[in-house]
Amino acid sequence: MALTVHQFPCLSDNYGFLVRDEASGQVATIDTPDADAILAQLERLGWKLDLILNTHWHPDHAGGNEALKAATGASIVGPAEVTRIAPLDRTVADGDHVMLGQTRFDVIDTGGHTLGHIAYHDATDHIAFVGDTLFALGCGRLFEGTAEQMWSSLSRLAKLPDDTTVYCAHEYTASNARFALSVDDDPALKGRAEAVFAARERGEATVPTTIAAEKATNPFLRAPLLRPSAVTPAQAFAEIRAAKDSFKG
Ligand code: ZN
Ligand code: FE
């Protein structure tokens, strides 16, 4: 594989991701949940940071930008909304791409959790970094966008190839599974939920996931099937999202 991904826990339930383009040796971090933790991992790996790629402006994603830039000189790329909390060296939007050595990341607009949220897709290696848009068995809360916007973002991610490895920014899968079981009794979901609970008992990560696994079992992607009476798919999604927001599992 041309891109190596190093994943590690950060803060209480975030994941940090350091990626290295093997052809050039260039290194990027996807988001900056915790500058000190990211610097410690760089040191351990013997990697030098070239690039910071932000998915959205929230402090657990962009809060370490300035400290990491000061420590490494890395340049910062992200959606315009990141400038609410820190300066950017380059602003990107849907349809743009970012090169890390020979690895190309296509920028996909995935607004909804925040208005300007983006995902980074490496189509060659079948890898996507989706921030807080799509989670294993879940999706991000609608802090700024509408249900229509989030449904369209999730639908775009669902159209990526089935074997795309999906790196979500949080370990929320066990609680997502408890909610999913409350709205869906599909056998594939039950099997996956059991595997998730067992993995978490063993202290294992349930991230990354794949597009195929999410299309098969994620209640948000399956919303139109789970809420057949809804007038539109986006309305079905809105109903499942509202149910999750009030779920006491
Ligand atoms: Zn967020
Ligand atoms: Fe987050």
All structural domains of the chain: 3-245 (3.60.15.10)
The H or E element spanning position 167 is strand 165-168
User: Any idea which residues carry the catalytic annotation?
Assistant: 56, 58, 60-61, 113, 132, 170
**Residues 24-67 pLDDT 10s:** 999 999 999 999 999 999 999 999 999 999 999 999 999 999 99
228 C-alpha to ligand 2 centroid (Å): 31
Q: How confident is the model over 66-88, as a mean pLDDT? A: 98
Q: How far apart are CA 26 and CA 19, in angstroms?
A: 8
The confidence score (pLDDT) of residue 1 equals 57
Name the pLDDT band for 170 (thresholds 50, 70, 90).
Answer: very high
**Residues 97-112 pLDDT 10s:** 999 999 999 999 999 9
Strand partners, 78: 91
Q: How far apart are CA 11 and CA 165, in angstroms?
A: 23
131 C-alpha to ligand 2 centroid (Å): 7
Q: Give the closest ligand to the alpha carbon of residue 81.
A: 1
Q: How far apart are CA 120 and CA 118, in angstroms?
A: 7
55 C-alpha to ligand 1 centroid (Å): 9
Does pTM top 0.85 for this prediction?
yes
**Residues 5-20 pLDDT 10s:** 999 999 999 999 999 9
